[in-house]
Amino acid sequence: MKVLIVNGPNLNLLGTREPEIYGTTTMDVFLEKLRSEFTAYEIEYYQSNIEGELINRLQEDDFDALVINPGAFTHYSYAIADCLKNIQQPKVEVHISNIYKREEFRQKSVTAANTDAVLSGFGMDGYRLAILSLK
């Protein structure tokens, strides 16, 4: 099974960006950990700060399951929401921080309604939990 993990804007800065919120682990290090734990899966990773590039990648439709952290696009990207609506594969939205404990604008997800589940506030472990839920 091929699992595609997609991260939106600024998530390329994991490990250095606001470590008190997002932790000190880089995505590369965490991906190694995921790949060693889920050896039966092919885990592919894609990150972009550009909304259209994320949509283009999602529309390639070459994966069996999706784990997505849209980052800031979570709160206003109806284009990504529409794209998710058309993806038939299982999909889980992940947020490293608990978005409901953050600023008011971060507490609304326009993308979540078009996913099968949302994990928020589990830190980087949210990605692992999302893959577990897809088994």
Residues recognised as catalytic: 22, 95
Binding residue per annotation — 80? Answer: no
Binding residue per annotation — 82? Answer: yes
Judge residue 63's burial from the number of C-beta atoms within 10 Å of its C-beta, 0-12 exposed, 13-18 middle, 19 or more buried.
Answer: buried
Binding residue per annotation — 69? Answer: yes
For residue 58, which of 102, 24, 88, 101 has the smallest C-alpha distance? 88
Structure tokens that stand for 36 in this block = 């060693």
| Neighbouring residues of 117: CB distance < 8 A, sequence distance ≥ 6 | 92, 93, 130, 133
Binding residue per annotation — 96? Answer: yes
Structure tokens that stand for 64 in this block = 């069996």
Binding residue per annotation — 114? Answer: no
Binding residue per annotation — 35? Answer: no
Structure tokens that stand for 73 in this block = 């696009």
Binding site listing for substrate: 69, 75, 82, 96-97, 106
Binding site listing: 69, 75, 82, 96-97, 106
